Structure 1
Amino acid sequence: MTGANPLQVHNIKQATPSRHVLDTEKRLGMALYDRKTRGATLAADGATYLRIAPGDAKV
C-alpha cells in the first residue's frame, strides 16, 4: 500500500484527528501547528511538545 492515505486505510474521517489536535492545543494553551490556507507546519511549541511529551501523551 505504498502511498496510501492512512486515514482512508483505517477508515478515519479527517475531522477526527483534527479535532484531537485542536483539543490538545486548547488543553495545553499553545499552538502545535502553524496553520495556513493550504496546509500546516509544525510550530516551535509543537516541536518542543513532541520532543518532551511522554509517548502516550502525544497526539
Structure 2
Amino acid sequence: MNTGKSRSTNVIAKKKVVVLKMDSYILKTLDPAILNKFKDHLLKILIGRLDEMNFAMAAFK
C-alpha cells in the first residue's frame, strides 16, 4: 500500500550493500510471486524487530 506521501531517511551501512529503490511503479508492475516473497520477508523483519522491542520493554520493567 502506497500512501503517496514522500519519505526520506538516512542510513549508514556497516559493509557494502546493494540498494533497490522501490517506488509505486515498481510495486504495481512486479510479478505477484516476487511481490509476495518481498512482503513475506519484510514481515519477518518487522516481527523480529517487534519481538526485540517487547523483550527490551519486559526487561525494562
- Bigger fraction of residues in helix: 2
Structure with more relative contact order (C-alpha pairs < 8 Å, separation 6 or more): 2
Over alpha carbons, which structure has the higher Rg?
Answer: 2
- Bigger fraction of residues in strand: 1
Q: TM-score of the superposition, structure 2-length normalised?
A: 0.30
